[in-house]
Amino acid sequence: MVSNEKAGYNRFLLLVAGLGGLLYGVDVGIIAGALPYLEATSGLNAGQLSIVVAAVLLGSVISTLFAGALADWIGRKPLMMLSGVLFVFSIPIIALSHGYESLVLGRLLQGISAGLIGVVVPLYLAECLAASNRGKGTGIFQWLLTLGIVTAAVVGMFFSIRVEEVARLGDPARLFAFKDTAWRSIFWVSLPPGILFVIGSLMVSESPRWLFRRGERDAAYAALLRSRINQQADVELAEMEQATAAEKAKTSTGANVQGSLLRRRYVIPFVLACVILACNQATGVNSIIGFNTNILLQSGLSDLQAHWGYVIFTIVNFLMTIGGVLLVDRKGRKFLLSVGSAGIIVSLLCTGVLFRRTERLRVDSRDAVQSMVDRDQKVTLLYDEKAADALLAANGDAGKAIGNRPTSLVVIYSYGDFRAATKVARSDDKSAKPFEITRESCVPANKVVAFFSNPFSNLDASRKASLKIDNALITPVPTTHNGWLVAISLFVFMAFFAIGPGVCVWLALSELMPTRIRSNGMSIALLINQAVSTTIAAMFLPTVGKHGYSTMFFGFAGCTVIYFITAAVFLPETKGKTLEEIEAHFEGARP
Q: How far is C-alpha 284 from the chain's CA centre?
A: 8
Question: Can you list the positions of beta strands (E) in 290-388?
Answer: 363-364, 379-381
Helix (H) and strand (E) counts for the chain?
Answer: 26, 7
- CB neighbourhood size of 208 (10 A): 26
Task: Give the contacts of 524 (CB within 8 A, at least 6 positions apart).
Answer: 68, 270, 274
User: Contact at 8 Å (CB) between 523 and 118?
Assistant: no
Q: 360, exposed or middle or buried, with CB in 10 Å at 0-12, 13-18, 19+? A: exposed
User: What does the alpha-carbon distance between residue 187 and residue 235 come to, in Å, rounded to a whole number?
Assistant: 46
b/e map of 421-451 (b: 16 or more CB within 10 Å)? bbbbbbbeeeeeeebebbbebbbbeeeeebe
- pLDDT for res 349: 95
Output the CA–CA distances (angstroms, integers) from residue 19 to 84, 150, 212, 384, in the order listed: 10, 14, 26, 46
The residue extents of the domains of the chain are 2-204+255-356+483-587, 363-401+406-476
CA dihedral sign of residues 412, 479, 344, 561: negative
User: Contact at 8 Å (CB) between 411 and 437?
Assistant: yes
Residues of the chain with pLDDT under 70: 1-6, 27-29, 32, 45-47, 50, 57, 130-138, 243, 246-266, 448-449, 452-454, 506, 508-520, 522-523, 530, 534, 538, 541, 574-591
Name the packing angle between helices 2-42 and 131-167 (round to 10°): 30
Assign 3-class secondary structure to 436-504: EECHHHCCCCCHHHHHHHCCCCCHHHHCCCCEEEEEEEEEECCCHHHHHHHHHHHHHHHHHHHHHHHHH
- CB neighbourhood size of 565 (10 A): 14
Name the packing angle between helices 100-128 and 2-42 (round to 10°): 160
- pLDDT for res 100: 80
Element at 284 (helix H, strand E): none
User: Contact at 8 Å (CB) between 107 and 52?
Assistant: yes
Q: What is the pLDDT of residues 377-397, one digit of tens each?
A: 999 988 888 888 888 887 777
Length of the chain (residues) = 591
User: Contact at 8 Å (CB) between 379 and 369?
Assistant: yes
Quick check: helix, strand or coil at residue 378?
coil
Task: Give the contacts of 255 (CB within 8 A, at least 6 positions apart).
Answer: none
| Listed residue (560, 483, 562) closest to 284, CA to CA | 560
Annotation: CATH topology of 2-204+255-356+483-587: Growth Hormone; Chain: A; (1.20.1250)
Assign 3-class secondary structure to 82-144: HHHHHHHHHHHHHHCCCCHHHHHHHHHHHHHHHHHHHHHHHHHHHHHCCHHHHHHHHHHHHHH
